[in-house]
Chain A
Amino acid sequence: GDSVTQMEGPVTLSEEAFLTINCTYTATGYPSLFWYVQYPGEGLQLLLKATKADDKGSNKGFEATYRKETTSFHLEKGSVQVSDSAVYFCALVRGNTGKLIFGQGTTLQVKP
């Protein structure tokens, strides 16, 4: 079945460091891919998405490119801030199922 694998956390960085969180997926067909972020005590917020191969999603300085050949959707940010500390989830969905499949989440802690 479909699945999403994220790099193990927690990831601890200093402010202004470069961030990469790896995400790979297994799915038949052409899923859409998402990154969600969850702050403590809150629900999930959509960070960015890509719906076809080679699409690049971007938002608030975060970027991710849909790589069909490597089945990956790695999240990157050039300079992280303390306020970026949160849990990041990679997810996929296929077709009109309304069913998001999530990775296990990666905790990011940014220190001043």
Chain B
Amino acid sequence: KAGVTQTPRYLIKTRGQQVTLSCSPISGHRSVSWYQQTPGQGLQFLFEYFSETQRNKGNFPGRFSGRQFSNSRSEMNVSTLELGDSALYLCASSLLGTEKYGYTFGSGTRLTVV
């Protein structure tokens, strides 16, 4: 059974640019959530999608957005990149987005903003 796949693994972008990250969940999983990991702030929740609808959102500016497609694959977009957006971005998939089934994480996308 394939795991959670995140692409690309590494990205280098210039301040002011925008970036799109992709997450393919485990087959059959309908919930995808995104997290930002930095040394200073730790792991912070960005948003969660279930059946193409955003169900929950963390405290991030509107520059951070996401979407989910009918096949449950999800993308997150960051516009007008800032140096502080440099981080490891992790996505997690879950069968129904409940604690009963747990959450499986991908290996992450390492974004560096220069």
User: Does B bind A?
Assistant: yes
Interface residue ranges, A against B (CB under 8 Å): 31-32, 34, 36, 42-46, 49, 51, 89, 91, 93-105
Contact A34 B58 (CB under 8 A): no
Looking at chain B's contact residues, the main secondary structure is strand
CB distance from B112 to the nearest CB of A (A): 14
Considering the complex, give the chain A residue whose CB is closest to the CB of B88. A43
* Contact partners of A46 in chain B: CB under 8 A: 102-105
Of the A-B pairs whose beta carbons lie under 8 Å apart in the complex, a sample of 14, sorted by A's number, is A34-B102, A36-B105, A42-B108, A43-B108, A46-B105, A51-B100, A93-B103, A94-B99, A96-B96, A96-B98, A99-B56, A100-B35, A100-B92, A104-B42
Given A32-B99, A89-B43, A98 and B48 contact (CB-CB distance below 8 Å): yes
Given A44-B90, A89-B43, A105-B42, A100 and B96 contact (CB-CB distance below 8 Å): no
* Contact partners of A36 in chain B: CB under 8 A: 105
The answer for the CA separation of A43 and B4 in the assembled complex, in Å, is 10
B24 part of interface (Cβ distance < 8 Å): no
Interface residues of B, count at CB 8 A: 28
* Contact partners of B42 in chain A: CB under 8 A: 102-105
Contact B96 A44 (CB under 8 A): no
Contact B105 A101 (CB under 8 A): no
Contact B99 A93 (CB under 8 A): yes
* Contact partners of B45 in chain A: CB under 8 A: 99-101
Of A32, A44, A51, chain B has the most CB atoms within 10 Å of the CB of A44
Q: Contact flags (1/0) for B87-114 with A, using CB distance below 8 Å?
A: 0001010101111101111111000000
* Contact partners of A42 in chain B: CB under 8 A: 107-108
* Contact partners of A100 in chain B: CB under 8 A: 33, 35, 43, 45, 92, 103
Pick the 8 closest A-B CB pairs, nearest first. A32-B99, A98-B48, A98-B97, A102-B43, A44-B105, A43-B105, A43-B107, A98-B33
